[in-house]
Amino acid sequence: MKGKGPFKAGSAEAALWQRVDRNALPQHIAIIMDGNGRWARRRHRPRIAGHRAGVEATRVIVETCARIGLPVLSLYAFSLDNWKRPEKETDFLMNLLRRYIRRELAYMKRNNVRLRIIGRWRELPRAVQEDIVRSVEETRNNTGLQLVVALNYTGRAELVDAVRALVAHAQSNGAKAVDEDELRRHLYASDLPDPDLLIRTSGEMRVSNFFLWQLAYTEIWVTDTLWPDFAPKHLLQAILDFQQRERRYGGLSPEAAQRRQRPAASRSESRRTDLVRN
Ligand code: FPP
């Protein structure tokens, strides 16, 4: 990159960024931010201290994504299932998320970031809704990073809401054939591309009810790093690893597809490896 890059010259991040193919950046990264509680426990501190530190990590990662020119970043901030936690913790999380949305508004406006909220956020306390509406409205026309925050969200609830909306639409406009495109049109943010890359921190190997429809062909990258410790260098490493992956969407690798076009005699030699690889 010519001129000033997004990272301090000579830093570990600048070295990683040098290796990233800027023309093959993921278009959408989704993150399951996990491990705030464990981060706090390891320091003999209350869980809320982990959430506070998690907000700081979030701020840095959002700024990094905006600086490197990522089009969409989605963060799983609060699941419908998180209501199972003690009231003290859920109250704290609601206030923390509210403060984040309010405080970051100035940053988002200055840096052309568009905030979008997905989930059943209309069921959240009125004060939270008001902050959401304000920040979403005031950043609506921004054309840089789209920051999608999943609040009061689960993938299953999104699918239920999509089906409900689809049925309501069919009742008032006449039934249409239901296919994948029609269902997708009723998801919370149907204009967004599916995530290319899902990052999960703290080592858990599950998707925890996040983006169940959208993750169909997403590449998954898991790190043992706990969310409050997740830094730009981890994000860049995830992008580098993603760029090494071969995405086949259920088809063949370009190599195997090419072999299929070769004459039958030379094809038979490679049949065994095809079976193994696909
Ligand atoms: C996971 O830690 C994190 C959450 C439950 C969500 C809250 C996320 C934040 C506060 C980060 C900030 C996000 C925004 C959008 C400002 P955990 O409590 O599940 O950790 P544990 O599994 O170690 O207990």
What global pTM score does this model have? Answer: 0.91
In a domain, 276, yes or no: no
Per-chain mean pLDDT for the chain: 92
243 domain-assigned: yes
Our mutation pick for probing the ligand 1 site, out of 34, 60, 62, 65, counting the most ligand atoms within 8 A of Cβ, is: 34
Instruction: CATH number of the domain at 126, please.
Output: 3.40.1180.10
Please give the pLDDT value at position 262: 64
Assess if residue 258 is contained within a domain: no
Cβ–ligand 1 contact at 76 (below 6 Å): no
Q: Is the pLDDT of residue 276 over 90?
A: no
Instruction: State in Å: Cα 33 to ligand 1 middle.
Output: 6
- Asked if residue 148 has its Cβ within 6 Å of ligand 1, the reply is no
Task: Answer whether residue 213 is part of any domain.
Answer: yes
The DSSP 8-state label assigned to residue 203 in this structure reads T
In a domain, 278, yes or no: no
Give the pLDDT score at 255: 79
Pocket test for ligand 1, best of 36, 116, 132, 200 (most atoms within 8 A of CB): 36
Q: What angle do CA 8, 11, 15 make, to 5 degrees?
A: 105
CA-closest residue to ligand 1 atom 16: 55
pLDDT surpassing 60 at residue 271: no
Whether 1 has a pLDDT exceeding 50, the answer reads no
pLDDT for res 3: 52
**pLDDT > 50? residue 269:** no
Do the domain assignments include residue 113?
yes
What is residue 149's three-state secondary structure?
strand
Q: Is the dihedral of CA 113, 9, 242, 81 positive or negative?
A: negative
Q: Is the pLDDT of residue 277 over 70?
A: no
From atom 12 of ligand 1, which residue's Cα is the shortest distance away? 55
pLDDT at position 278 is 33
The number of the ligand 1 atom at minimal distance from the alpha carbon of 51 is 10
In which band, very low, low, confident or very high, does the pLDDT at 264 lie, cut at 50, 70 and 90?
Answer: low
CA distance 6 to 15: 11
Residues 203-257 have pLDDT tens digits of 999 999 999 999 999 999 999 999 999 999 999 999 999 999 998 898 888 777 7
Q: Is the CB of 98 under 6 A from ligand 1?
A: no
Domain extent, residue 213, equals 12-247
Residue 98 in domain: yes
Catalytic residues: 34, 82
Check residue 270 and give its pLDDT.
39
4 confidence band (pLDDT: 50, 70, 90): confident
Q: Indicate which atom in ligand 1 lies nearest the CA of residue 39.
A: 23
Per DSSP, helices labelled H in the chain are 12-19, 36-42, 47-68, 87-110, 126-138, 155-173, 180-184, 232-244, 254-261, 264-277
Residue 257 lies in a domain: no
Decide whether any atom of ligand 1 lies within 6 Å of the 36 Cβ. yes
User: pLDDT for 120-161, tens place per residue?
Assistant: 999 999 999 999 999 999 999 999 999 999 999 999 999 999
Using the predicted structure, report yes or no on whether residue 263 has a pLDDT greater than 80: no
274 confidence band (pLDDT: 50, 70, 90)? very low
Number of domains the chain contains: 1
